Structure 1
């Protein structure tokens, strides 16, 4: 899988700030964030290189999780940090992007709560199109209802399936909210380190 964990370089940090993915009101800064770069299987059956920005205290755990998913050949549509979408969570979800750190802008879910697992870099959303969440603001599925049933399918997360097992073995929690959020794993709410 060839994973690397590194501090954010000047270009990466500047990209986050310029895109609005990080702002002064975000609960973590550059020193606590790490960039994970790793291979993953795509829906096209080929190996792709992706990146996630995460909190330093969960980086090694996520390397183990995504190594396990790679070994299971679990497909991931794309894996790009949120700044590739201008810091816009909705745009990232519509692109079926797997992402982690997200200090969401006003008007988006949990924006920018200091308790938010995403704003603290301790949450991951995987294949949002195949694993939507139920948005209470509109009483609708985001980004789409097309795959809202939890039946087997490519790129879907099911209880006791390989994604669920890889994360829960490491102590992560699936859908840590009161509404369905099939794409989401975190370390607890309010955000806290693993174990």
Structure 2
């Protein structure tokens, strides 16, 4: 009876977790990849389970594919995301069938899914994105769009700091990333663009490896 009463008082804590993604590591890292993907990079990736509150107020579990050297950082930041109840739409690897349905190899600009690794070029550049090396993550893209001049990605997305799920310079999630040495795309106004969904980090030990892949 005591357990029942506790559950009634703290229903959110007793509610079942919503699983947004349940891939195994092989599926998340190796399946549904585009031509030219580098096995050397995939060998360095790991699958990290994370929990967060969705816009429905329920606790969700998703998965992040990230470079193994950044796995602990991801766990620590998602602890902040969960503790502050910062709402996240979904955290699903791009290899997942649900994301594959949105575009070839999961490459769809019109998404609000949070993800890290995806083998692609950087927007507007002829070199690999930091995402392709597992060293970047985008959070709630539709609420935190990439903007350069008249271009906005996802298409039609707008940035409104008053909306839940939006990232700002003083937000605990942004501060949590920065304390761990990550750079935030929201600070890139001097580059002629802003990308508040985007966080990236190059550990010192990986500098030469990153330069080799992005030269």
TM-score (ref. length: structure 1): 0.77
Change (3 A) 1:144 1:31: same
Residues 80 and 98, structure 1, Cα contact 8 Å, conserved in 2: yes
Residues 28 and 65, structure 2, Cα contact 8 Å, conserved in 1: no
1:61 alignment partner, one of 67, 73, 79: 73
Question: Cα offset for 1:161?
Answer: 0.8
Question: Cα offset for 1:77?
Answer: 0.2
Q: For 1:37, what is the secondary structure of its paired residue? A: strand
Following the alignment from structure 1 to structure 2, what is the Cα–Cα distance between the partners of residues 159 and 27?
A: 36
Find the counterpart in structure 2 of residue 148 from structure 1.
Answer: 159
Question: Cα offset for 1:71?
Answer: 0.6
Find the counterpart in structure 2 of residue 80 from structure 1.
Answer: 92
Change (3 A) 1:111 1:82: farther
TM-score (ref. length: structure 2): 0.70
More strand by share: 1
Question: Cα offset for 1:28?
Answer: 4.4
Residues 28 and 95, structure 2, Cα contact 8 Å, conserved in 1: no
Higher-RCO chain (CA-CA 8 Å, sequence separation at least 6): 1
Question: Cα offset for 1:66?
Answer: 0.7
Change (3 A) 1:46 1:101: same
Find the counterpart in structure 1 of residue 198 from structure 2.
Answer: 184
Larger radius of gyration: 2
Change (3 A) 1:80 1:43: same
1:31 alignment partner, one of 43, 52, 58: 43
CA RMSD of superposed structures (Å): 2.8
Question: How many pairs align?
Answer: 174
Q: For 1:97, what is the secondary structure of its paired residue? A: coil
Following the alignment from structure 1 to structure 2, what is the Cα–Cα distance between the partners of residues 25 and 142?
A: 24
2:140 alignment partner, one of 124, 127, 148: 127
State whether structure 2 residue 63 is matched by structure 1 residue 51.
yes
Q: For 1:181, what is the secondary structure of its paired residue? A: coil
Q: For 2:131, what is the secondary structure of its paired residue? A: coil
More helix by share: 2
1:172 alignment partner, one of 182, 196, 215: 182
Q: For 1:118, what is the secondary structure of its paired residue? A: helix
The answer for unaligned runs of 5 or more in structure 1 is 3-7
Find the counterpart in structure 1 of residue 114 from structure 2.
Answer: 98
